[in-house]
Structure 1
């Protein structure tokens, strides 16, 4: 019996907290985080700040299993806090910086958040409202002086740095709960384990084409995308270069000035860069890898980028339920002599079981489309508090992604449509039901259906198709009122970019809005139903 107890952890793998400690301990004076010429943090600085933040959290009685959310702009403390939370065994939940108050309230309550960490300069007023509405939150920790809670940084400065030691976690312990929308109209909490995030880092190390001399330019929120790049950058002894904002001039200026070798962008950012006059004049010779994902890339725009800057593009594909590394399209596979391949999301990672299944969970015939399904340590533990939706997602012993794909004869995967109605616009997920629920409450609306339509800039944009109530005219004022209503309730990302007024919405035989027929009116003869 004692031998079994001793061997209980014998085969446990390394988890994300261990990888972070090992990475932060590798170097001392080498630059780790760059946020401008006057703000450079070394590996030692990051390590010591992480230790101080960990001790500050522990002094409040917070540790393994604490559920914490974060909302912040890009500032150096965000990465140190990410490490401090992970190493302390927290269960983290990022709040979308562009999300609405109601959305944040729902997430904070559903995830049972005890601690909210925030940027007081950008979100002080917002957090004050959250404090009134979510009384179950016990601690409000600010990156600086605040009237809402505790100055987290001042508290951390009262401690001296100590060696980093990971909490007593297991690979099956939860590391995060990230929220993604669903057909119920409410976001679902994706419960990810320490095993999953470590496995993702392993596949990144094995498959992703990171430059040896890694200067990683980040233009996306550090509280979201940067976390996925934290360990690979540390393992390479690289440094994060964090833009104060995203404009083409800023991007190209930093690439030229600091000889940036890699970056991660969503397609809409690439479109903005390609449309800038600087795209033809900027010196991009230092750039070795542009990682892109989060939404499908327009093959035509990708071809334009390849013609300008060469084979420096690397695509990744995944979803919250199994993140980022399901398939990879390598730099060499971005081949202008095979333009049809630019519509692919690459080959499945050899570390993942990926199959195309029919509605009976059987493999489809070769060359035929089927739902992309996955088995892997990457796969989430389940949806928080949603056993039925979890069982549906795991039907037949596979994670069902909801995406329909097909393989070509060389094993490259193409996403041809989405099984569900999710819209991906500019790298953000929009769920039509949520927008429809807001619009259906408007005094002018009799019926509404929301679909994604082709958009050269955003990949897809949100379109509302509306049947007005009798006696209501479809004026520009009404159209703008509908857009503003959604913007106020859900945020600008979810707000329709266009509104069409129609006399009727096509229905299925059972009386549901026929989204497929509706989309066909806008997608026409396009070879696929996503951009």
Structure 2
């Protein structure tokens, strides 16, 4: 292990510290379900032991095809501690054949399936007989997740997997096709994502987070920052604007997390103005920039608390950050930029040969730093998106004279002649 690798913490270690520090506080909320830090620690410890007793070893994959509930995140947390690879696949939205192929490609040792689709998925025959099948509800002939954990005696969380351990398989776009790539994310990379976001987004001291998005996706990386601060993470099993507004009124959050489509549906909802948003200190969005009219509407509703974060599955939410004051700076075009690169990450715009582009010139966005993935699962070195240590994002951007990044296009669109960029 190099000195740089030794300096990176593990996501499991960060989680253990948080759970031990605030045992009596409320950690996770979803509808009527409410879990304290102590209850989270106990359940995660039991799940880890149950999976180890089922025969799983570090490096094995645990696939989940389940709803957005605390149990889903608890299984993922157990993977982070044990060094298993957590792979969350969507319960709905993919054709059955595509979901079956992705499940087979993940090669899981254990699969947790929503009870509503358990029989269908188990009947695909996509996996070997040695795979452990678990349902998140009571089904005859199935191991049930809650009982599986409950059968274990009280136990400690144990030692976390090292920073170098790959503990997550994230999936790139290709939501209705089989072209998605499985991204290998290490425990150290995920810890870096958590701590860099805590350090650079202006989180309140005791966050009460309301998240509109599934924790199986990119915003799941915001659970550990919430817990590190001793906060509460409120999740919705299914997002609707009505449900989000009701949760906001009930929980009085001071941090909101959502992608632009969810944000737009909230901004347009006739009931949004009847909710008291005065507790909101930070509203983090990700996935796309906002139009000036959307920024104005969000400011009128929440106050000047917008924070845009940009990343990729290959470098989750840690490439650039557009701070609240940048949304109101008055500098032309700044509010529609991606923001400044994260401190701790190195960002460069490169031409086709890999040489850095001068300010204002379009090129491919390339990134180095501790939050970058290890690579794509099952791909040869020649098929990995790295050049001289740089992650090639495939995004065409330019960096202005003040260091702000501006998104232009995808590289494949430029090469296909769909844009006039010079990448």
- TM-score, normalised with respect to structure 1: 0.73
How far residue 217 of structure 1 moved from its aligned partner, in angstroms, is 0.7
Q: Is the 8 A contact 1:144 1:154 kept in 2?
A: no
Q: Is the 8 A contact 1:92 1:175 kept in 2?
A: yes
Distance 1:216 1:149 in 2: 34
How far residue 173 of structure 1 moved from its aligned partner, in angstroms, is 2.1
The aligned residue for residue 505 of structure 1 is: none
The aligned residue for residue 516 of structure 1 is: 418
Distance 2:132 2:289 in 1: 39
The aligned residue for residue 319 of structure 2 is: 326
- Label 1:125 to 1:181 Cα distance change in 2 as closer, same or farther (>3 A): same
The aligned residue for residue 404 of structure 2 is: 412
CA displacement, residues 317-342 of structure 1 (integer Å, 9 cap, x when unaligned): 11011111111111121116345212
Residue 172 (structure 1) aligned to one of 143, 161, 164: 164
Distance 1:292 1:77 in 2: 25
Distance 2:4 2:412 in 1: 40
Distance 1:176 1:43 in 2: 23
Residue 355 (structure 1) aligned to one of 344, 348, 353: 348
Residue 257 (structure 2) aligned to one of 254, 260, 264: 264
How far residue 211 of structure 1 moved from its aligned partner, in angstroms, is 1.6
The aligned residue for residue 235 of structure 2 is: 242
Q: Is the 8 A contact 1:216 1:239 kept in 2?
A: yes
Summarize the alignment of residues 279-358 of structure 1 with structure 2, pairs less than 5 Å apart. Answer: 279-335=272-328, 337-338=330-331, 340-358=333-351
The aligned residue for residue 110 of structure 2 is: 115
Unpaired runs of at least 5, structure 1: 423-507, 509-513, 521-527
Distance 1:108 1:125 in 2: 15
How far residue 293 of structure 1 moved from its aligned partner, in angstroms, is 0.5
Q: Is the 8 A contact 1:50 1:80 kept in 2?
A: yes
CA displacement, residues 233-285 of structure 1 (integer Å, 9 cap, x when unaligned): 11110011122432222222222222111121010111111111123332211
Residue 50 (structure 2) aligned to one of 56, 67, 79: 56
1:150 aligns with 2:52: no
Residue 97 (structure 2) aligned to one of 92, 95, 102: 102
Unpaired runs of at least 5, structure 2: none
1:16 aligns with 2:8: no
How far residue 363 of structure 1 moved from its aligned partner, in angstroms, is 1.0
Summarize the alignment of residues 358-397 of structure 1 with structure 2, pairs less than 5 Å apart. Answer: 358-387=351-380, 390-391=383-384, 393-397=385-389
- Label 1:388 to 1:300 Cα distance change in 2 as closer, same or farther (>3 A): farther
Q: Is the 8 A contact 1:68 1:93 kept in 2?
A: yes
How far residue 181 of structure 1 moved from its aligned partner, in angstroms, is 4.5
The aligned residue for residue 271 of structure 2 is: 278
Distance 2:155 2:242 in 1: 41
1:217 aligns with 2:119: no
- Label 1:70 to 1:148 Cα distance change in 2 as closer, same or farther (>3 A): farther
Distance 1:251 1:410 in 2: 37
CA RMSD of aligned residues (A): 2.6
Distance 2:178 2:382 in 1: 13
SS at match of 1:49: helix
Residue 244 (structure 2) aligned to one of 240, 248, 251: 251
Q: Is the 8 A contact 1:291 1:314 kept in 2?
A: yes
Number of equivalences:
418
Distance 1:150 1:116 in 2: 11
Distance 1:339 1:306 in 2: 18
Distance 2:293 2:34 in 1: 38
CA displacement, residues 382-431 of structure 1 (integer Å, 9 cap, x when unaligned): 1122125544x112331111111112232211101111359xxxxxxxxx
Q: Is the 8 A contact 1:32 1:42 kept in 2?
A: yes
- Label 1:382 to 1:199 Cα distance change in 2 as closer, same or farther (>3 A): same
Could you list the structure 1 runs, at least 4 aligned residues long, displaced by more than 4 angstroms after superposition: 7-10
Q: Is the 8 A contact 1:303 1:336 kept in 2?
A: no
The aligned residue for residue 391 of structure 2 is: 399
How far residue 348 of structure 1 moved from its aligned partner, in angstroms, is 0.3
Distance 1:394 1:191 in 2: 14
- Label 1:396 to 1:244 Cα distance change in 2 as closer, same or farther (>3 A): closer
SS at match of 1:404: strand
- Label 1:347 to 1:153 Cα distance change in 2 as closer, same or farther (>3 A): same
Distance 1:9 1:370 in 2: 29
Q: Is the 8 A contact 1:105 1:134 kept in 2?
A: no
SS at match of 1:63: coil
Q: Is the 8 A contact 1:303 1:342 kept in 2?
A: no
CA displacement, residues 82-101 of structure 1 (integer Å, 9 cap, x when unaligned): 21121111011111232222
SS at match of 2:216: helix
Q: Is the 8 A contact 1:344 1:413 kept in 2?
A: yes
Q: Highest Rg: 1 or 2?
A: 1
Q: Is the 8 A contact 1:28 1:43 kept in 2?
A: yes
How far residue 136 of structure 1 moved from its aligned partner, in angstroms, is 5.6
How far residue 125 of structure 1 moved from its aligned partner, in angstroms, is 4.1
